[in-house]
Structure 1
Amino acid sequence: MMPSLRKLRFEDEQGNPGFRAQLKEQRWDDHRYYHHDLINQSLHFVSACTFITAYALLFVDAALASLLAWGVAMTSRQAGHFFFEPRDYDEENGVSHEYKEEVKVGYNLMRKYVLMGLWLAIPVVLALSPTLFGALERPDSAMDFLRHVGFGWLFFGVAAILFRVGQLWFERDLETGIVWATKIVTDPFSDFRLYRTAPARLIKHGRSDDTHAAA
């Protein structure tokens, strides 16, 4: 167990917070602040497996990969945060939920509400205008419609990452944004390693995880 009130610092061999050190620190902060509940961790494991599958499928069928990533991986991932992760005072880290929301590098819960709202709006817009106001071919079947949705979600995901990178560049610096984008893209592999034992631990020990060890 790491000391609760101390912010863990990661540095490179020269003692500077280089790219890999910043990436490790962002991952550690995300884990220790936002993954206390083993249901949440288990859902992240499901999400990681699905995202990895979607990554492989991306080179074969990008629309289907996007439907899988957003429809299964992203929804299970965010459900863990929205419905199961505790939002009371974090005794382990000595901080409030409000503090964690304020210092979150990526999409905190409030930003995620906006993000998921826009995600849900895409199929609604395509249902109202199947050709997207003349930009797309009219779908001949439900599968064609879903493929349009999949491509819409794919472009939206890329845009959401680039948008947050731009925000972080403006608020902090470009490197912070690039580090965060790298973390997001590689999270499925990191989450698979971190949370692969979560389902078994959930069954054996209940929901609370008190084994937050540095990655």
Structure 2
Amino acid sequence: MKSILNTLQEQRWDDHRYYHHSRINQSLHLLSALSFLFGYVLLFVDPIAAAFVAWLVAMTSRQIGHFFFEPKSYDEVNQATHDYKEDIKVGYNLRRKIILLSIWVALPAFIWFTPSTFGLPPTQPDIQSFVHTVGECWLYLGFAGLVFRTLHLFFIRDVETGLVWALKIMTDPFHDVKLYYKSPFYLLKGQLIDPMDDVKARQLSSSTRR
């Protein structure tokens, strides 16, 4: 259990220090986290509505932050290039995210033009059935994306890394709220990039111990 908690802490720390320098990205992650938490509640009440909240609000805001606002230049704080960080990322890097998001975007069109494939009437599908099917497919896609990468990590890393990553993904909304609840206030003050004082402090502490 201690090993799992240590691995979880390590994955969360690397995720923060490598991929969340932008205050805009952090603020969007806060919005995403709150949306996911709302989606978690909806999941027990209306799973289809939960899927729409998760994909249209939570995932969209989250990925906009990564794709458009997170710096792609050399990371002076961690002494790492963008390509290096993409290569070592445990979860979905930008390339894998493009594939996942492409499937997400393509699903509604596929369902509309081939409705019988998903159990809808083969001609003139009604909007209500279409929306329900899209939501259902997006719900399955979310679970599939989680399971696929978890199993993938079993083979390219190890079982513990995969299981811990899955646990991290499911609990990220809670952790992101705790980590980034102040980010919008920093952003309002005009601070676009987090100085990463916490990262520098840990690096200094580590070098001192050596």
On whether the aligned pair clears a TM of 0.5, the verdict is yes
Which residue matches 1:176? 161
Which whole-Å CA distance do the structure 2 matches of 1:168 and 1:72 have between them?
27
1:41 and 2:44 are equivalent in the alignment: no
Answering whether residue 150 of structure 2 is matched by residue 165 of structure 1, we say yes
Q: CA deviation at 1:213?
A: 2.3
> How far off is 1:85 after superposition?
0.2
Post-superposition offset of 1:172: 1.3
Quote the Cα distance in structure 2 between the aligned partners of 1:212 and 1:71: 33
How many Å apart are 1:140 and its aligned residue? 5.7
Any conservation in 1 of the 2:120–2:129 contact (CA below 8 Å)?
A: no
Alpha-carbon displacement from aligned partner over 1:125-183 (angstroms, at most 9, x marks no partner) = 1111123x2x4233864233112111101101111111111111111111110000000
- Asked if the contact 1:32/1:212 (under 8 Å) is kept, the reply is no
CA RMSD of aligned residues (A): 1.7
How high is the sequence identity, in percent, across the aligned residues?
49
Q: By how many angstroms is 1:34 displaced?
A: 0.4
Cα displacement (A) at 1:201: 0.8
Q: Give distance in 1, aligned partners of 2:128 and 2:11.
A: 39
Tell me how far apart the structure 1 counterparts of residues 197 and 131 of structure 2 sit (CA, whole Å). Answer: 40
Out of 59, 62, 65, the residue aligned to residue 74 of structure 1 is 59
Measure the CA separation in 2 of the matches of 1:174 and 1:94: 29
Give 2:79's aligned amino acid: G
> 2:176 is matched with which residue: 180, 191, 204?
191
**Which of residues 56, 64, 68 in structure 2 aligns to 1:83?**
68
Q: How much has 1:31 moved relative to structure 2?
A: 0.5
Is 2:13 the partner of 1:28? Answer: yes
Residue equivalent to 1:137: 120
- How high is the TM-score relative to the length of structure 1? 0.88
Question: 1: CA distance between counterparts of 2:197 and 2:108?
Answer: 38
Residue 158 and residue 31 in structure 1: after superposition, are their counterparts in 2 closer, same or farther (change >3 A)? same
Distance 1:103 1:163 in 2: 18
Unaligned runs of 5+ in 1: 1-10, 13-17
Instruction: Deviation per CA, 1:14-61: give whole Å up to 9, x if none.
Output: xxxx00110011001000000000000010000011000000000000
Alignment gaps of 5+ in structure 2: 203-210
Q: Distance in 1 between matches of 2:19 and 2:128?
A: 36
